[in-house]
Structure 1
Amino acid sequence: MKISTEKQLRELYGYASGRAKDKVFSKLDKHAINFINKSPFLILSSSSKEGKHDASPRGGALGFVKVISDSEIIIPDSKGNNRVDSLSNIVETGKVGLLFLVPGIDETLRINGNAYLSTDEDYLNLFITEKNPPKSCIVISIEEVFLHCAKALLRSKLWDESSKINRDEFPTMGQMLKDQLGSKEAPETREAMVERYQKDL
């Protein structure tokens, strides 16, 4: 049966209760701030007015996301490939969802809120020491913030050494793009790719 109504969904799953219902807040507390400060990686989700969705990885040194207040954070738009999928969506709808990860920690932190792009000098100066300072920042006003349980990461064993595959048994980005694009050129090696990326990090 295809589930196509909220009623069908709730008949199957019911409603959240207890901590799962009560853990959603509208402001950062000390634990959420600590989580953000310890996170070198997040996933930024957004959508356009037409419903075009995007999920984009963002990463940096610890503290690369700046906590401005208990209701506002800033993400630098680090140098990338200029597709600006997420940025275009933010300009259109001003809504984002974030998932913060901390290596070795199975819980995650989720934030949903309003967002806009800024070239405000005060904001950009927060990242002035970066090798490649951002052209703009994503300013997020928090609507919801909550810790997400460890089940998904425990199931996946994401941080377990036993989960790591042999890198030599997985095709390089160069090989995958060669196959996908039908290129006749030799695929870029991983070593060459990493060397090329270094100037943009």
Structure 2
Amino acid sequence: MGAEGWESIESADELREVLGAPKPAALAKERRTLHELDRAWLAASPFCLIATSDADGNCDVSPKGDPPGFTLVLDDSTIAVPERPGNRRADGFHNILRNPHVGLIYFVPGRGDTLRVNGRARLVREAPFFDRMVVKGHRPSLAIVVEIEQIFHHCSKAFLRSELWRPESWNPQVVPSRARIAQALERQGEPIEELERYYGPAYAEGIYR
């Protein structure tokens, strides 16, 4: 891809020239420990995104979801996220083994603001608190334990611009179904009827197996 006509930003001074200085409140909101309002947010959140990178800077973002309150608060500066059955690629886990720095964003459906957590993670394969993370009979195979280094709430402008939570803006049929995407990209040659059955209503029945 050509870059003719582009004006790149190469320094922090150039970046500030474009964006301006952050407001004092935006800088002052960073904390290192959980407030009771953070705990309430985690108790209400059923979904988060976890960003990781390896030692060379190669990045990954992984979604994690469970019933509200799935992230367990261990103390004022430590949280734990359970792992559930998935595709077993474990890209983010391999990153954590090489570089413990992680970033998480917690969502509450219908809310534009989010809770952001940055910290250092480790993988735990067994601990007494796993008994508190059982869902539908499934005890997590491992957990990501995060020592919080930075936590703050983020504004809703991106959600307002995107109209993400406005049902009237939703159009899930605008792109092909998951079955058709799978057939085109990673499960080529498999009959579309079989893939539609696999990704159909029965798919949800096996998410904890």
TM-score range, shorter chain: over 0.9
- Residue 184 of structure 1: how far off its partner (Å): 2.6
Greater CA drift, 2-11 or 167-176: 167-176
Answering whether residue 50 of structure 2 is matched by residue 44 of structure 1, we say yes
Q: Which of these residues, 178, 183, 188, is aligned with residue 178 of structure 1? A: 183
Judging changes above 3 Å, is the alpha-carbon distance between structure 1 residues 190 and 109 closer, same or farther for their aligned structure 2 residues?
farther
- The correspondence of residues 58-77 of structure 1 with structure 2, limited to 5 A, is 58-77=64-83
**Local SS of the residue matching 1:115:** strand
Aligned Cα RMSD in Å?
1.7
Asked if 1:120 corresponds to 2:126, the answer is yes
Aligned mate of 2:36, from 27, 30, 39: 30
Find the counterpart in structure 2 of residue 196 from structure 1. Answer: 203
| Structure 1 residues 1-201: aligned runs within 5 Å | 1-165=7-171, 167-181=172-186, 183-187=188-192, 188-189=195-196, 192-201=199-208
The answer to whether the 8 A contact 2:178-2:199 is kept is no
114-123 or 133-142, which deviates more: 114-123
C-alpha displacement of 1:171: 1.2
Q: Is the 8 A contact 1:123 1:137 kept in 2?
A: no
Contact (CA 8 Å) 2:123, 2:142: kept in 1 or not? yes
Specify whether residues 14 and 33 from structure 1 end up closer, same or farther in structure 2 by C-alpha distance, changes over 3 A only. same
The code of the aligned residue for 1:144 comes to Q
The answer as to whether partners of 1:127 and 1:134 remain within 8 angstroms in 2 is yes
Structure 1 pair 132/194, CA: closer, same or farther in 2 (3 Å)? farther
Deviation at 1:12, TM superposition (A): 1.9
SS in 1 for 2:93: helix
In the TM superposition, residue 181 of structure 1 has moved relative to its aligned partner by: 4.0
Amino acid at match of 2:54: S
Contact 2:179 2:199 in 1 (8 A): no
**Change in 2 beyond 3 A, CA 1:190/1:10:** farther
CA deviation map 1:151-171 (0-9, x unaligned): 000111111111211x44431
What percent identity do the matched residue pairs reach? 31
1:46–1:150: structure 2 CA closer, same or farther, 3 Å change rule?
same
Q: Is the 1:46–1:53 contact (alpha carbons within 8 Å) kept by the matching residues of 2? A: yes
Specify the SS of the correspondent of 2:109: coil
Q: Residues 99 and 190 (structure 1 numbering): CA distance in 2 closer, same or farther, change over 3 Å? A: farther
Q: State how far apart, in whole Å, the 2-side matches of 1:181 and 1:79 are.
A: 19
TM-score norm. by structure 1 comes to: 0.92
| Equivalent AA in structure 1 for residue 151 of structure 2 | V
Point out where structure 2 has 5 or more consecutive residues left out of the alignment: 1-6
